[in-house]
Chain A
Amino acid sequence: MTAFTAILVDGYRELVAKKLFTLSMILSLLVVAVIGIGGLNEQGVTIFGFTIEVPMINSTMFTPAEFYKFMFNSVGVKFWLGWLACLLALVSSAGMFPEMVSSGVVENMLSRPIPRWRLYIYKFTAGLLFTSLQMAVFCLASFLVIGLRGGAWEPGLFLAIPLVTLLYSYLFAMSALLGTVTRSAIAALLLTILFWGFLFTVNSAETIVNGFRIGSVKECQAIEALMQKRKKENPDVDVSDLQTELERDQSTLSNLALWHRVVFALKTVLPKTDETTSLLQRWTLEASNMQDEGADDAEEVAATAQKQRRRGGPGFGNSRAKTSVVVAAIEADQRSRGVGWILGTSVAFEIVTLGVGCWLFSRRDF
């Protein structure tokens, strides 16, 4: 424990010596301050007494507590901590492992009575301090803002500390491995960002393909329902047009399902950065129940969808399934992915990455 504590303290001192850590900490507090300064009235969002009209975001739609929690999650965690602060942390800590394995330093580390794999893990843990300390400060400030301004004291916010630290740890494990292999901070940073971009691409591809797949499922269901409805009204009615439409959509669905299986398999073995931070939303915010507004009738939906497409509006390519139904189905599908799958597979990838790093570090001559 003496060595572990010493490496942690050393890691903290290294961070404090870097201006980027202080800068990042100040920016975190600024983000919380900006969230805290904002407020809600019936027209929209208020800042310093001025009202900015924002559709769907006003005091009739959200309570103050919901607004601040939403801002904490979407702006604070998802945008600031999930992206920018993580990037700053990567920049700041990319040099930790290349520095540790550099000549003149590594000899002092390896000639001590500590197994190499432990040194690697201790150093890795020290590298997580940047994010965890920043998260601790951010969450404490947000907890106070939501409590004081929104009137809701939400200890669940502190779950963001382990969640965002975990998200960062997926990336830092890769940065540590690359830093050990290349012995270059720049190479480690650039390749880690590339890896992060790859994760983002795979995640986006899976989300998009899955969206279309679910849209297609719902479309087929809507067509089948419409066919039954027409036949029920008039058993002799000709539904060959719908049958053709159904067969075309089923063929599309078959292709989409195949592609989704491929992308999903790839995603399964990779860390899930976006879904990890989304867990916070699951645990701290109420699910946004979309109200079914408008007609239930598939023909009416199709007409509305056509109008929307002509205007360049939203849609999943479906013309008969209601957008709200599709969105709800996608949300349900995403929520069906358990915490065990999201975190378990991500942590498994991280363990493999760390294992490879430890193995290389233990085998190499310095």
Chain B
Amino acid sequence: MYGGNTHALRDVSLNVGAGEIFGLLGPNGAGKSTLVKVLLTVVKPTVARGAMLGKPIGDKKTLARVGYLPEQHRLAPYLTARQAVEFVAALSGVDRATRKKRAAELLDRVGLSKWMDRRVNVFSKGMRQRAGLAAALVNDPQIVFLDEPTDGVDPVGRVEIRDLLIQMRREGRTVFLNSHLLGEAEQVCDRVAILVQGRVVKQGRMDDLQREGSRQELIVRWSGSGASAGVGAQFAANGSAIARSLPFRGMNIAPTVLADGTHQYVFGDVDAAAAQPALAAAIATGGEIISLIPMHQRLEELFMKIVVDPTTGKAPPPGAGS
């Protein structure tokens, strides 16, 4: 709670499984970073119940098995990348021999092998981010919290970091990813939660969430020449396309006329068999099937639906309010 009556987070309940990549999404000020800070004892919550790696939240010893890349983290400018990573390892209680070995390995893995003995103050933002990732992994953590890991990283670097996340999952680590880059989250996350004004408004498996809004889009051309001419052509001529509906799961689906004159039908799931009666009806009445495309809900669409107020078209202000 900030300032006495503003709740940064309220009634947040999450369940993150071992070995999965969990994405925590939300607009700026939703409380994503604060939630991670609560889990990692950087912020002390009014109340927090739960367990991380089998120990109560706030247990300091557990943090030896946790990695963390804070948002806009800063490594000491007077240290080399190797020294900075080793320093973080030492704070986590990693012995000297192990931290030396792991620091070199990880810096190599994030593409800084030639830079590991250069001071961090000459690094670009992307290079610092890579060094930070190495530091987050140096204590061989079971769970890694990454707060905007691709912030400031070039496209090639982003792909490399995405591969690194997948590799972490393969190694059995749990990755807790805070991001507002929905495309990236969509590509790597097994499960996501969307946080708005300090509350979790949606969470679930990525494929379930995608399925929720999945659909098929059928494009039919009614007008034109040859075999397609007939009833369809009469429709186009009459301008009464809305009346030309097609059957889908016992309902009649009305089309939308697109700019090129074709008609778009949207069916409520991706089951191709369910679309067969509509295809048959369209062909039978002289329609030309242009395409039938299964469409999964994009994370961005889901996010916008949840976050943006449909009446104002704006995202809500930060914080959970009083």
Contacts and interface: CB of A to CB of B under 8 A. Distances in A.
Interface of A: 2-3, 5-7, 10, 13-14, 16-17, 102-115, 363, 365-366
B60 interface: yes
B90 A2 contact: yes
Interface stretch (B76-84, B160-168, B180-188): B76-84
Contacts of B113: none
A17 B43 CA distance: 31
Contacts of A104: 70-74
Closest 9 A-B residue pairs measured CB to CB?
A6-B90, A17-B78, A107-B70, A104-B74, A111-B40, A112-B91, A113-B64, A365-B43, A113-B63
Contacts of A102: 74
Given A107-B68, A111-B42, A14 B78 contact: yes
22 contacts: A5-B90, A7-B91, A10-B79, A10-B87, A13-B76, A13-B78, A14-B78, A104-B71, A107-B37, A107-B40, A107-B68, A108-B91, A109-B91, A110-B41, A111-B40, A111-B63, A111-B70, A113-B63, A113-B92, A114-B60, A363-B44, A365-B42
Given A2-B90, A3-B91, A113 B61 contact: yes
B66 A366 contact: no
B135 interface: yes
A183 to B, nearest CB: 14
B95 A2 contact: yes
Interface in B251-291: none
Nearest to B145: A111
Contacts of B209: none
B88 interface: yes
Given A5-B90, A6-B87, A104-B73, A111 B41 contact: yes
Residue from A6, A14, A16, A363 with most neighbouring chain B CB atoms (10 Å): A6
B48 interface: no
B74 A110 contact: no
A5 B86 CA distance: 12
A113 B64 CA distance: 5
A13 B79 contact: yes
B304 interface: no
A148 to B, nearest CB: 37
Nearest to A122: B91
B76 A10 contact: yes
Contacts, number: 83
Nearest to A366: B42
A59 to B, nearest CB: 49
Interface residues of B, number: 34
Nearest to A15: B78
Contacts of A112: 63-64, 88, 91-92
Given A6-B91, A114-B60, A106 B42 contact: yes
B266 to A, nearest CB: 46
Contacts of B79: 10, 13
Contacts of A103: 72
B90 A3 contact: yes
Given A104-B73, A111-B66, 4 more contacts: A104-B72, A107-B37, A107-B42, A112-B63
Contacts of B42: 106-107, 110-111, 365-366
Interface of B: 37, 40-44, 60-64, 66, 68, 70-74, 76-79, 83, 86-88, 90-96, 135
A108 B95 contact: no
B140 to A, nearest CB: 14
A366 B43 contact: yes
A14 to B, nearest CB: 6
B258 to A, nearest CB: 49
A134 B169 CA distance: 50
A363 B41 CA distance: 11
B93 A3 contact: yes
A223 B69 CA distance: 79
A164 B37 CA distance: 40
A67 B95 CA distance: 51
Contact of A108 (B61, B64, B73, B94): B73
Nearest to A109: B91
Nearest to B132: A108
A14 B88 CA distance: 15
Nearest to A3: B91
Contacts of B40: 107, 110-111
Contacts of A2: 90, 93-96
B87 A113 contact: no
B84 to A, nearest CB: 9
A106 B91 CA distance: 12
Contacts of A3: 90-91, 93
Contacts of B77: 17
A280 to B, nearest CB: 33
A115 B92 CA distance: 12
A16 B71 CA distance: 28
Given A13-B78, A366-B42, A108 B90 contact: no
Nearest to A18: B78
B240 to A, nearest CB: 62
B66 A105 contact: no
Contacts of B94: 2
A20 to B, nearest CB: 13
B83 A13 contact: yes
Residue from A3, A108, A113 with most neighbouring chain B CB atoms (10 Å): A108
Nearest to B40: A111
A117 to B, nearest CB: 11
Nearest to B33: A107
A10 B79 CA distance: 8
Contacts of A13: 76, 78-79, 83
B68 A113 contact: no
A137 B189 CA distance: 57
Contacts of B92: 112-113
A232 B86 CA distance: 85
A10 B86 CA distance: 11
Nearest to A107: B70
A69 to B, nearest CB: 38
A111 B71 CA distance: 13
B68 A115 contact: no
Contacts of A5: 90
